[in-house]
Amino acid sequence: MPEADLIILMRHGESEANVNPEKYASVGDPNIQLTKEGVQQAVQATGILRKIIGKRPVFSFSSPYVRTRQTASIVLSELSKSNVKVLYNHEDPRIREREFSGSFQRNAPDRSDEDSYSRFFWRPPGGESCADVYDRISLFIDSLWRVFQCQHDVENGVVLIVSHGLAVRLFAMRWLHWSPETFMLSKNLPNCGFIVLEKQRPMGHGSDYYKLSDDSVRLLGISSVESESHPSTWPLPLHNDSVESRTFCFKNTSGLSCIVRISPLTSHFFCTANSRFGSAKCNLGRS
Give catalytic residues, as residue numbers. Answer: 12, 97
Per the annotation, binding residues for substrate are 11-18, 67
CB of 257 closer than 8 Å to CB of 234: no
16: closest CA among 63, 57, 70, 55? 70
136: closest CA among 186, 221, 63, 227? 63
The span from the CA of 200 to the CA of 5, in Å, is 9
The span from the CA of 145 to the CA of 279, in Å, is 9
Per the annotation, binding residues are 11-18, 67
In sequence order, what DSSP letters do the residues of the chain get, joined into one string? ----SEEEEEE---BHHHH-TTHHHHT-GGGPPBPHHHHHHHHHHHHHHHHHHTT--EEEEE-SSHHHHHHHHHHHHHHHHTT--EEEEEE-GGGSPPPSSSS---S----TTHHHH-TTT---TTS--HHHHHHHHHHHHHHHHHHHHH-GGGGG-EEEEEE-HHHHHHHHHHHHT--HHHHHHS-PPPTT-EEEEEEE--SSSS--EEEE-HHHHHHHT--GGGSBPPPP---S-TTSTTEEEEEEEEEETTEEEEEEEEEETTEEEEEEEETTTTEEEEEEEE-
